[in-house]
Amino acid sequence: MTAPLAALRRGDQVTLTVTSIANGGDAISRLGEEPGLTVFLDRGVPGDRVLARIEQLRPRFVRATVLDLLDESPVAVVPECPVEAECGGCRFWRLPYDEELAIKAREAAQTLTRIGRGAAFPELDVIAATEPRSYRERARLRLGSDGEVGFLAAGSHRLVGTDRCAVLRPELDATRPTIRALFARIPAVSSVFVEWDDERQGVALTAELDASDATHAFRTVRARLDRMPPLDGITTIALASGRRTRVLLGDGEVHRRRPLAGAQSVVVREPVGGFSQANGRLNGRLQRAVLDACGAPPAPGAPLLELFSGAGNFTLPLLGAGWDVDAVEGAGHAIQAAANAWRTVGDAARGSFRAWDLERGLPPELTSRLHEYSTVVVDPARGGLPAAVVGALAGFVGSRLIYVSCDVAALARDAAALQSAGWSARQLTLVDMFPRTPHVELVAVFDAEAVSR
C-alpha cells in the first residue's frame, strides 16, 4: 500500500466517489493517489459520493460497506423499489435503463478481455429488455419467523420484507397471502419457490422443507389447505424435501409452451422446481439468437449435438427448424420432459434425448460420432464447461460451436481454452434477460479456424 493507505484498518470510515460498476454488481471506487487501490462497495452508482466503512483489506483491493449517501450521482433517478438499498436481488434501480445496459455491456467486454487470457472477441451486440419491470417468472420467496414474506438482504440471512417486487410478474406477487396462510410459522419452511405456468396461466408453489421436520410440515400444510376455499390462479402446490416432492394440489408440474416451426409450438410438462429461463418475454429472443447462429441445416436431417439441453428450451425449436438433434442433459426429469413433448408432435427418430452426467465428458456413443456433427450448441451452468467437455470439443472437427452462457467470467475462461484448440469467436451477443440485476445472458458463436483445424 502507499503511505496514506498504510494506516487503514478494518472499521475505518472513508469518503469515496463511485467510478464504475464491477461484473457482479459491486460499485467500484479508488483509494489513494492514481491509480489508487480498488475499493469494492456493496452499493452505489457512478457519480455517487459516499461515506463507507472498511470491511476487508487485501493487498490489491478493499471491500467496504456504504453507510451514507453524501452526494447523489447526477445520472441517478428515484428508484421504483422501496427496498432496493437492502435487498440482495437488484442493483440498478437508481439508474435509467439505458445507462444500466451500457454499464453491463462495457463490463462484460472488459471481463472477457481481462479473464480471457488473450482470447480475441468481436464487438458485442446487445439485445435490450423490452420491459425492465414485472418480467421475472420464477423466484424464491423467503419466510420470516413471524410469517413475513420477502427476500434476503444483500450478503446476509436477514429478511427484507416487502409487499411487492418490481421485477416479479404481478401474478407471482399476488400469491403472498396464500403463502402466508399455508406456510407461515412452520419451522421447517423457510422458503417457497414460485413459478409461472404460461400454458395454464397460473402459479406453482413449492415449499422447500428442512428434511428433519418434513412429516410434521406436510401434515400441517395439508390441514391448512383442507380448510381453505378454492385457490384461484394456483395450479400446483408441492412440498420438496431433499429429492422427494409431495404434491398437495394439482399435478406437480409446470407447463411451458415452446416454439417449433412457423406458428407451431409444443407444451413441455416439467416437474416443479426444474430450471427454466426467468424472463419469458426475452426467452424468445434468446432462442432466436441461437437459431440464427446455427443457421439452416446444411442438408435435410443434418445432425446437431446439444449439451446441457435442459427441458428443451433450444432443443425443440432446433428440431422444429429441421435439425436432427442429439440432446444431452444431466437432469433426468428435464430431458424426459423434452422427450415427452417432442413425441407428441414430431418424428421420434429425429431427436434423441440422453440423461448423462457431462462432468464425466461426452457419452461414449457420441464421442465416437463427434465427426458427424457440423454444429454443437452448449448451455452450461454458471460454472462453465467441465474440463472433460472442453477436451472433447478440442477434437470436434465441425465448423460451428454456439455457447450460451449466464456467467461472463466462465465464458471468458472457456473461450481461452477453446481458442487454443483452434476455435475463434466470430459473434458475441448480450441478451439482457435480467434487467435491474447485474446478470446477463451471452451467446458466443465460435467458428473453426481453417488454418489450424
Alpha-carbon gap, residue 164 to 145, rounded angstroms: 19
Alpha-carbon gap, residue 135 to 381, rounded angstroms: 22
Helix, strand, coil in percent for the chain, rounding step 5: 25, 30, 40
- Three-class SS of residue 190? strand
**Which position has the grid cell 470439443?**
393
* Three cell numbers, residue 200: 395454464
Res 214: pLDDT: 81
pTM, 2 dp: 0.93
Res 5: pLDDT: 64
Looking at residue 412, its amino acid is A
Res 3: pLDDT: 39
Closest by CA to 379, choosing from 227, 267, 299, 277, is 277
- Three-class SS of residue 348? helix
Backbone angles phi, psi at 410, to 5 degrees: -65, -40
Instruction: Please classify residue 239 by burial: count the beta carbons closer than 10 Å to its beta carbon, then call 0-12 exposed, 13-18 middle and 19+ buried.
Output: buried
Q: What are the residue ranges of CATH 3.40.50.150 in the chain? A: 108-130+279-448
Taking only the tens place, the pLDDT of each residue in 64-89 is 999 999 999 999 999 999 888 888 78
- The one-character DSSP state at 280 is H
Domain 108-130+279-448: top CATH class: alpha beta
- The one-character DSSP state at 279 is B
Q: What are the residue ranges of CATH 2.40.50.1070 in the chain? A: 138-254
Closest by CA to 434, choosing from 319, 328, 322, 282, is 282
Q: Are 128 and 432 in contact (CB under 8 A)?
A: yes
Q: What are the residue ranges of CATH 2.40.50.140 in the chain? A: 3-71
Res 4: pLDDT: 55
Which helix (H) or strand (E) covers residue 412, if one does? helix 408-420
In this prediction, the residues of the chain whose per-residue pLDDT falls under 50 are 1-3, 450-453
1.20.140.10, 1.10.3720.10, 2.30.30.100, 2.40.50.1070: CATH of 138-254: 2.40.50.1070
Res 404: pLDDT: 98
2.40.50.100, 3.40.50.970, 2.70.50.60, 2.40.50.140: CATH of 3-71: 2.40.50.140
Q: Are 176 and 149 in contact (CB under 8 A)?
A: yes
* Three cell numbers, residue 97: 435503463
Q: Are 288 and 125 in contact (CB under 8 A)?
A: no
Alpha-carbon gap, residue 131 to 317, rounded angstroms: 24
Q: Are 206 and 244 in contact (CB under 8 A)?
A: no
